[in-house]
Structures are given as C-alpha cells and as structure tokens.
Amino acid sequence: MAKDAEVFARETHTQDLLSHGYRTYYFGAILASYGGLKYDKELHFAAAVLHDIGLTDSRAVPLQACCFAVSGGRQVHDFLICKGYPSEKVQIVGDAISAHLNLHLPVRDYGEVAALVAKGAVCDLLASENGA
C-alpha cells in the first residue's frame, strides 16, 4: 500500500505538496515514537503522503463543491479499493485523510493513524510558518 500511495502522490502532487506529505509522515512518526504509540506505519504513510490530494489538479470533486479533506479521503479510499486492499485498512486511511483538518483528534476516538496525520500536518505547517 505504501508503494502504491507514493506512486499515486508522485503522479498527482506538486513537489511542494509531496514534500509536505513526507514531512507530515515524519512528524507524525516522531510524535508516535515520543509518546510510545503503537500504530500501523504503512497506513500512516499512505494517509500522510496523500492527505492533501483534494488540493491537486487530480481531485475528484471541485474545491467549491466539498471540503477538500473529505473529497480527498473518498478519492484515496476509492483508489486503494481499486488496487485490491482490504476495506477495513482502506477505511482507516480514508477516514484519516477526511479528518486531518481537525486540530484535536483523540486517539481513542479517531484511531492512531488519523491522530498522527492531523498532528504531523500541523507540525509541518507551524514549522513552515516559523521559517524552519
């Protein structure tokens, strides 16, 4: 799944957006390590690298028609299902992408992957804002 997600991201994302996806993954992984959180690294990577696909030219729904996070989650869900991945794993990735704009995603309510993608994205955005 990680390889298919990365190929899809490379085909659809600008270099800046792709780099943001990678940093989102790394920041989330650092936070998980620091907190001793157990999670599925492959699902986390797929969700992190594709979490902003709703902002790309390949988006399935026009930006003004739906929240880009929700439409992006659906688009990635459909992509991964077509690739033959198990629906329960694909659902975790799609839900993480759909929820990533929420600033507070408790692990017990949303799962590890969603929490890490949201926190990783925020860390990257804050680091970029401060010129890091």
Residue (of 90, 94, 112) closest to 32 by Cα position: 112
d(CA 98, CA 75): 10
What is the rounded average pLDDT of the residues 95-104? 91
**Percent of the chain, pLDDT > 70?**
92
Residue-wise pLDDT tens digits, 15-61: 999 999 999 999 999 999 999 999 999 999 999 999 999 988 887 66
- The domains found in the chain, sorted by start residue, are 2-129 (1.10.3210.10)
Higher pLDDT: 114 or 106? It is 114
For the entire predicted model, the pTM comes to 0.91
